Amino acid sequence: MSAPAVSRLSKAAQSSAAQNSAIQRAAWEASSLDWLYLDLNSYFASVEQQENPRLRGKPVIVVPVMSETTSAIAASYEAKAFGIKTGTPVWEAKRLCPGIALVDARHDVYVKYHHRILEEVDRHIPVYKSWSIDEVSCELMGPQKLEPEARALAHRIKAGLRQNLGECIRCSIGIAPNQFLAKLASDMQKPDGLTVIHRHELPERILPLPLRDLPGIGPNMERRLNEAGIRSIEQLWALDPREARAIWGSKEGPAFCARLRGYGDYHQSSEHRSVSHEHVLPPQFRDADSAFLVVRRLCTKAGSRLRRMGYLASGFYLKARFETGERWAADFRLTQTQDNFILLDAAERLWQAMLRETGPRRGRFKKVGIALHGLVPEQQVTLDLFSGGSGHERNPQQAAARAKLSAVMDRLNGKFGKDTVHLGVLPGHRADFMGAKIAFNRIPDAKEFIE
């Protein structure tokens, strides 16, 4: 074959490749599949089964404290088969499934697995956001937007989790036009599911679902929708923006309806608004004195966390729940502070007010908690030289000395272990995870487990 003929073939091949590339790019751009959402199945219970082979294949619940009156914070799928779920009281779980295994929650272990899971997912596709300890979203790019490629990616992630973390670490994956619908899709098939929703399949794919299955529709919002005559997704789909705004009472209504159609998305603020810790008390430590020692420990933990984050608080909130079911809560204004001594003073004042108000009727304590709110970054603080965080007069030199003392205590505890140096008497029971709890939308920093 002559050189000119070879040249013509080469140019034809290049032209064909360019055409194919353009066709592929057009297919990617036309696809409505933009997001992959991964939801770990029965996460806490699955981690415990992975850590302890004797628990595998058996009904398991994870509990905050070993007590008949507490509730499950996670249930394995074997336990769910008996009707046990998150929030089921321990006594009821034992009635539904005699012999069910109870496991103490180990939040530090769940956080370590979380980071290992992120590393594994990142091997296949970058993690866009961790929405909670067991939910992450990833943005699909290029050929990943095509359904065959997206499905293959999801299967690779599942296989990687099984191979590198263990057989008990399973997940359900949703793939859809936005994170809202991808999260919804991840809930449609459990455990170990994979669901794909295209925009052109809407609303038919989601019409059979109850309103409560939609992310963001809780009991209060469902009640508000019902009062407006909305009892199905079909009726919700038919709302116009003005009607949605009236029901929600804000622009969130139209935004929610847009997300439902696959347009727009929800976002999570990274701004710190509060630092909160709470603790369920073991039955043998539910008297007032023992409960207050826990409150003090939560205060110093929260103070340490404030200093590590670089924030000061302007409000202190104390809450208590009693075995009778009664609750008590109150707030205390602070001058912007991160001083342990001031936080402890505020706790003492509110605690005494609670004892006076509730009197003998309160009975034994079941749970206590504190929250520091009105957070302000250190660099934005205007110092008040005349009053302390709880209204006391103070000497600026004394305040500086206390701040230095708190910083030294933080360093010593960080180096030698939690409570190496502490203020006052510690609670009498095991406090390994006191305050270091995993909330729905917050994953504790590893340093919190040593504060």
> Looking at the annotation, which residues are catalytic?
135
The values of phi and psi at residue 151, to 5°, are: -65, -40
Query: In the sheet where 194-196 sits, what is the strand order?
Result: 129-132, 135-139, 35-40, 171-176, 194-196
- Dist CA 316 CA 275 (whole Å): 10
Cis? peptide before 59, omega within 30° of 0 = no
Written as six digits, the tokens of 25 are 């790019």
CB 199: neighbour CB atoms within 10 A?
A: 16
Q: Are 178 and 172 in contact (CB under 8 A)?
A: no
CB 324: neighbour CB atoms within 10 A?
A: 12
Measure the N-to-C terminal CA separation of the chain; round to a whole number of Å. 78
The values of phi and psi at residue 64, to 5°, are: -75, -25
- Dist CA 42 CA 47 (whole Å): 9
186 by DSSP, 3-state: which?
Answer: helix
196 by DSSP, 3-state: which?
Answer: strand
Q: Are 127 and 136 in contact (CB under 8 A)?
A: yes
- Please report, for residues 55, 60, 74, 118, 442, the alpha-carbon distance to residue 111 in angstroms, rounded to integers and kept in the order given: 20, 19, 15, 11, 11
Written as six digits, the tokens of 249 are 């009472």
Q: Which residues pair with 103 in a beta bridge?
A: 62
One-letter identity of residue 52 = N
- Dist CA 169 CA 47 (whole Å): 7
- Dist CA 137 CA 293 (whole Å): 40
